[in-house]
Amino acid sequence: MKPIKLTMTAFGPYKDIEVIDFTELKEHRLFLVSGNTGAGKTSIFDAICFSLYGEASGEDRNDVRMLRSQFASDDVYTAVEFEFEIKRRTYRILRQLSHVKQGNKSATGEKYEFVETTGGRETMMVDRYMVRQINERVQSLVGLTKDQFGQIVMLPQGEFRKLLTSDTENKEEILRRIFRTHLYKYVTEYLNEKRKTAQNDCDLAKRDLDAQTMNLKLAISQREDSELHRVLGGELYNTHQVLEALEAEIGFYAAAKESRRTKLEAEIKLQRELTEKYHQAAGLNEQFDILSRKTTEKINLESRIPEFEQKRQRLAWAEKTLPLQVQERHVVGAREDVVAKERSMASSREELRLAEEGFRLTEEAYRLEEKQEGRREQLVRELERLGRDLPTVQALESHKTRVCRLEKEAAQAEEDLRAADVRASSRMEEKKALTERIRKLEESVRPLPEMNQRLERMRSEATLLRDCVQWAKELDNLRSEERKQKELHDRSAREYAQLEGRWLEGQAGLLAGHLHDGAPCPVCGSAEHPRKAAVSADMPSREELEQQRNRKAELESVYLAGKTKREHLEAQLQAKTAEAAALGYAADDLESSYLTLVETGKSISAGVKQMQADQAVLDECKQTLDQTEKQLETESADKERRAAFHQERRTAYLTDKALYEQALNSVPEELRSLETLQRRLKETEAEKQRAETAWRLAQERFQQAGAKLAATQAGRAAAEKQLEEARARLAQAEDEFRGEIARAGFETAEAYQQAKMPDDARAEMKRDIDRFHAELATVRKQVEELEAMLQGKERADLAALAAEMERLDRQVELTRHSLAQAQDHYDKATEGKEKILSAEQRWKEAEKDFQLVKDLYDVVRGENRFKISFERFLLVEFLDRILQAANLRLQTISGGQFYLARSRRQEKHGRQSGLGLDVYDTYTEQFRDVKTLSGGEKFNASLCLALGMADVIQAYEGGISLETMFIDEGFGSLDEESLNKAIDTLIQLQQTGRMIGIISHVQELKQAIPAILEVKKASEGHSYTRFRVS
C-alpha cells in the first residue's frame, strides 16, 4: 500500500479541512513528521488507520468519538478521506462520523464511500456502503487485519515494543491476532468441554456402579453364613468379589426354589382331595335340610285349602256379573245425559237474561253518541285551522335557533380574541427575558476558547513536569540500589580472588605430594625438591570455588542490569529536563513548579467547567429563543385572525336578529311558540279520534247485541226439547236393567253390586288359586322324592372336616410364601447381577472415552514437559521465522553484539513456555532477558523485530504489497552510533521501494532526512501541516 493523499476534516487537532498530499515528496521515500508535543503528529497516523479500519492506531484511542476536533464548528462533520495505491491501482475511501447538532435530538451525517479511481473513473468496491462490507473489502484488498497493520505497517506510539518486552501470555495474544491462530484456542476450549463432559460421565457411571453395589444390601436379604454377607460386610471389596458372591447366592436360591416347589405340589394335591370329601358331606347334609323344609312347607299349604275354596266360589259369582255390567253402563250413561241436559237448560236461561240486559245498555249508548254529531264536525274545522298556522310558526322557530347560535358564536369569538391577546403579550415578555439572559451568558463564555487552549497547554506541561519529578526520584533510588549492588559485587569479587588463591596454593601442595627425589618436576624440570609446597588445611574444594564464581557472575549481572537501567533513565530524564527548560522551567525547581501548575490548573479547570456549563445553558437558551420567536409569530397571526372572525360573527348576529323580530310581529301572540302550537294540534287530533272511535264502536256494539239476543232465544227452545228426550231414554234403560238382574239369579240390585269385582282383582284372584294348587302339587312330589333318596342315610360331621381343611390351607400358604420368598431373592440377586454387569460395562466405556479425550486435550493444551500447547507450537514456529529475519538486521545495527533467540526457560507456576525472548550478547557470550537491554538497544531490537515480522507476514499471507511503513516511537533513546545504524537500516528499506514515515523530535533525524512533514499549531490552538523538502 502506498499513500497518495490524506484529507482530514474536523479530525483531532485539525479544525477544518487539512490535506496532506504525499506526492509532494516526489522521489523522497523517507520522511520525518516533526512538531511540538500535542501538535497532532500521531493524529495523522490515526486518520490513515481510521480511514482503512474504522479505528485509531493505538489501543488508548480506540473510542472513535474522541477523534472529533474540539475546535470544529457544529455544522462541520468529522471525516477522513484517504487515497492510496496498491499494485499500480488507485483507490479512495471516505469515512464520515455522525454527531448531534445543536437543536437536534439524534445524530446525523454518517457517511461511507470506497471506490477504485484507476484511470480517472470511480468504481464502487462494495455492493452497498455498509461498514461491515467496507471493512471486509479493505482487509481483503490490503491483505492485513487491523492488528497486523498495527505491527508491520503502522507502529503506533506506546505499542512498538510490546512484542519484544511483553510476557509470554501477551506475546501469545499478539501473535494469535496477527497469524489468526485463535481457532486452535477454540479447539482447546472445545476439547476441555468434551473432557469435562467425559469426566462427568465417567464419574456418574462409577457412582452408578457403586450405587448398584450398595443397593444389594437393601434389596437382598443377606444370610449370615453366605459369601455375599461376608463380602458386603467388609470395608473393602471389588466388583469381581461381589459378582462371585452373587453367583453363589443365585445358586443357593435356585436349589431352594426347586425343593419348596416339590413340597407345595404334594400339599396342594392333598388339599384338593380333602376339599372334594368336604363338599360331598356338605351336599348330603343339605339334602336332609331341604327335606325338613319341604315337609314343613307341605303341611302349611294343606292347611290353606279351605281358604282357597272360598275364593273359588267368590270368583264364580263375580264372573256372573260380567254380562250385566254392559246394561248397567247404559243406565249410567242415560242418567249422566239427563244431568248434562239439565245443566245446559240452566245455562240457556242465564245467557238469555244477559243478552236482553246487554241489548238494552248498547241501545242507550248508541242513542247518546248519535246526539254528538255537531261536536265531531267542530273538531274537524279546528284541526284544519291549526294546520294552516304550523308552517309559519316552524319558520319562526328555526330563525330563532339560528339567532341564538350566532349570538353564542359571537360571544365565543370575543372570548378567544381576549385569550389570544393574553398569550401574545406573555410570549413577548418571555422573548425579552430570554434575550437579556443570552446577552449575559455570551459575555460570560466569551473567554472559553482561550481558557481551553491554556488548560490544554498546562496539562501537557504538567505531564512533562510530573514525569521529570517521578523519574528524578526513581533515578535516586536506582543510584542507591546501584551502589549497593556494586558493593556486593566488589565484595564477592574479592572473596572469589581470595578463594581462588587458596585453591591454587592447595593445588601446588597436591602436586608437590607427587614429587620424588631424582624425578623431574613437571613444572620446572628440576630433579631436586628442597622446598616442596605444603597442602593448606583451609584449601577450598572445586565445588566451593565454582559456587563462588557463579555468585560473583550473578551479582555482576544484577549490577550491570541496574547500571544499564539507571543510564537509560538518566538519558530519558535529561531529554525531558531539556524539554522542560525549553518551556522556561528551572531544573532545580521542577517539583514546586509542578505543584503550582497543578493548583493553577485546578482553578482554571473549575472556571472552564463553569463556562462550559454556561455554554450549555446558552445553547439551550438560544434554542428556546428560536422556538419562542416562532411561537410569538404564530400567536400574533392567530390574534389577528380571531379579531376578524369576531367582527364577522357579530355583524351576522345583529342582522339576523332584526329579521327575526320583524317576522315575529306578523304571528298571533298565542301561536308564536312552536311547542304550544304542536301541543294544540296533538290534543285536537286526539279528541277528534276519540269522538269518531266512540261513534263507530257504539254502532257496532248495538248491531252485535241485537244479533246475540236472537241467537240466545233460539238456543233456549232447543235445550228444553233435548232435556225431555233424555229423561225418556233414562226411564227405559232402568226398566231393562232390573229385568236382567232378576234373570241372573241376584235377589236384589245390592247383591249384584256386592258380587262385582274389578277386572284386575278378579284376574289376580284366579292366578292366586292356580298358583296355590300348583305349588301344593310340587311340594308333595319333592317330599316323596327326597324321602326315597335319603332312605338309610345319616348326617356327616362337617366341623371336623372343616378344621382339617383349615390346617391344611395354612400349611399350603406357608409353603407358597416360602417359595415366593426364594423366588424373590433369586430374582433380586439375578437383577442385581445384571445391573452391576451393565453398570460396570458403562463405567469401563466411559473411562475409556474420558482417557482418550483427556490425552488429546493434554496434547493440545500443552500439558507436557516443555509446557507448549499445540497453538503455541505453531506460534513458536512463526516466532522463530520472525527472529531469523530480525537477526539479519539486528546484527548489522548492533555491530554483531546482539542477536535474538527464544528463551529456553520454563515459566513458573505451570504457565506455558516457548514465547519468551532472550538476547545473546557476544561480548559476554551469555544469554539474558531482553528486558535488560537499554532503551536504545530495545528500540533497535523492536525495529528489527517489526521488520522481521513484516517479512514473515508478507510471505505467510502471500501477494501482499508492503510499500509503506510508519513509525511513531522514540528514536531519542539511541546514541549517535545506534541512531546512524538505525537510519542506515531505514535507508536500506526505502531503497527496496518502501515509503517510511517517522515521528521524532531528534535533531539528527531532522538533519539527516531531507523531507519533513511539519505539524504546527495556530494561535487559536488548532493545527495545520505542510511539507518541507530540501
Question: Tell me: the pLDDT tens digits for 633-670?
Answer: 888 888 888 888 888 888 888 888 787 777 767 666 76
Total residue count of the chain as it appears in this document = 1030
The structural domains of the chain, with segments of one domain joined by +, span: 1-143+961-1030, 322-371+675-754, 391-446+624-671, 448-514+536-604
Is a pLDDT exceeding 80 seen at residue 995? yes
Residue with cell 523485530: 945
Q: Which residues are CB-contacts of 865 (< 8 A; sequence separation ≥ 6)? A: none
* More confident of the two residues 864 and 366: 366
- Residue (of 63, 66, 93, 68) closest to 78 by Cα position: 68
Buried b (16+ CB within 10 A) or exposed e, 262-297: eebeebeeeeeeeeeebeebeeeeeeeeebeebeeb
Q: Give the cell for residue 196.
A: 469435562
Pairing relationship of beta strands 995-999 and 30-35 according to DSSP bridges: parallel
Q: Which amino acid is at 872?
A: R
Is a pLDDT exceeding 90 seen at residue 60? no
H helices present in 56-142, as ranges: 131-142
Is a pLDDT exceeding 70 seen at residue 559? yes
Q: What is the pLDDT of residue 21?
A: 93
The phi, psi pair for 922, rounded to 5°, reads -70, -20
Mean pLDDT of 202-220: 79
- Residue (of 59, 642, 698) closest to 367 by Cα position: 698
Half-sphere exposure of 533 (CA within 13 A, CB side): 18
The CATH topology of domain 1-143+961-1030 is Rossmann fold (3.40.50)
Q: What is the pLDDT of residue 116?
A: 93
Half-sphere exposure of 89 (CA within 13 A, CB side): 11
Tell me the pLDDT tens digit for each residue of 537-547. 667 777 787 78
Domain 1-143+961-1030 identical in fold to domain 322-371+675-754: no
Q: What is the pLDDT of residue 522?
A: 56
Q: Are 591 and 431 in contact (CB under 8 A)?
A: no
Is a pLDDT exceeding 80 seen at residue 399? no
Q: What is the pLDDT of residue 112?
A: 92
Is a pLDDT exceeding 50 seen at residue 11? yes
367-381, 431-445, 501-515, 867-881: range with lowest mean pLDDT: 501-515
Give the whole-angstrom CA distance, residue 756 versus residue 320.
Answer: 9
Is a pLDDT exceeding 70 seen at residue 577? yes
Q: Are 93 and 47 in contact (CB under 8 A)?
A: no
Mean pLDDT of 809-830: 85
Mean pLDDT of 328-351: 81
Give the whole-angstrom CA distance, residue 487 versus residue 484.
Answer: 5
Is a pLDDT exceeding 70 seen at residue 907? no
Q: How far is CA 567 from CA 468, 474, 570, 935, in A?
A: 15, 12, 5, 9
Q: What is the pLDDT of residue 533?
A: 58
Pick the CATH number of 448-514+536-604 from 3.30.70, 1.10.287, 3.40.190, 3.30.1330: 1.10.287
Pairing relationship of beta strands 995-999 and 964-968 according to DSSP bridges: parallel
Mean pLDDT across the chain, nearest whole number? 81
- Residue (of 898, 903, 931) closest to 917 by Cα position: 903
Element (DSSP H or E) covering residue 79? strand 79-86
Is a pLDDT exceeding 60 seen at residue 109? yes
Q: What is the pLDDT of residue 792?
A: 79
Q: What is the pLDDT of residue 772?
A: 83
Tell me the pLDDT tens digit for each residue of 121-144. 889 988 888 888 998 898 888 877
DSSP code for 747? S
Element (DSSP H or E) covering residue 124? strand 123-124
Q: What is the pLDDT of residue 526?
A: 61
The phi, psi pair for 585, rounded to 5°, reads -100, 130
Q: Which amino acid is at 926?
A: Q
- Residue (of 773, 608, 471, 524) closest to 70 by Cα position: 608
Q: Which residues are CB-contacts of 582 (< 8 A; sequence separation ≥ 6)? A: none
Q: What is the pLDDT of residue 859?
A: 80
The phi, psi pair for 90, rounded to 5°, reads -105, 150
Contacts 24+ apart (CB under 8 A), 198-201: 198/846, 198/849, 198/850, 198/853, 198/854, 199/850, 199/854, 201/846, 201/849, 201/850
Q: Are 954 and 992 in contact (CB under 8 A)?
A: no
**For residue 90, what pLDDT band results from cuts at 50, 70 and 90?**
very high
Is a pLDDT exceeding 80 seen at residue 971? no
Give the whole-angstrom CA distance, residue 921 versus residue 294.
Answer: 137
* More confident of the two residues 915 and 973: 915
Give the whole-angstrom CA distance, residue 351 versus residue 975.
Answer: 153
Is a pLDDT exceeding 70 seen at residue 261? yes
191-195, 518-522, 569-573, 948-952: range with lowest mean pLDDT: 518-522
Q: Give the cell for residue 519.
A: 624425578
Q: What is the pLDDT of residue 992?
A: 66
The 10 Å Cβ neighbour count of residue 171 is 21
Half-sphere exposure of 359 (CA within 13 A, CB side): 16
Tell me the pLDDT tens digit for each residue of 591-612. 888 888 888 888 888 888 888 8
Contacts 24+ apart (CB under 8 A), 1026-1030: 1027/20, 1027/21, 1027/24, 1027/25, 1027/31, 1029/24, 1029/25, 1029/26, 1029/28
Is a pLDDT exceeding 70 seen at residue 970? no
Mean pLDDT of 860-864: 75
Q: What is the pLDDT of residue 534?
A: 60
322-371+675-754: CATH number: 1.10.287
pTM: 0.40
% of the chain exceeding 70 in pLDDT: 91
Mean pLDDT of 818-825: 84
Q: How far is CA 477 from CA 361, 391, 983, in A?
A: 145, 119, 34
Tell me the pLDDT tens digit for each residue of 701-736. 888 888 887 888 887 788 788 888 888 887 887 787
> Rounded to the nearest 5 degrees, what angle is found at the Cα of 683, between the Cα atoms of 678 and 686?
125
Residue with cell 506506546: 158
Pairing relationship of beta strands 154-155 and 964-968 according to DSSP bridges: parallel
**For residue 79, what pLDDT band results from cuts at 50, 70 and 90?**
very high
Q: What is the pLDDT of residue 909?
A: 46
Contacts 24+ apart (CB under 8 A), 777-783: 779/294, 779/297, 779/298, 779/301, 780/298, 782/294, 783/291, 783/294, 783/295, 783/298
DSSP of 603-634: HHHHHHHHHHHHHHHHHHHHHHHHHHHHHHHH
Which range has the top average pLDDT, 343-347, 580-584, 881-885? 881-885
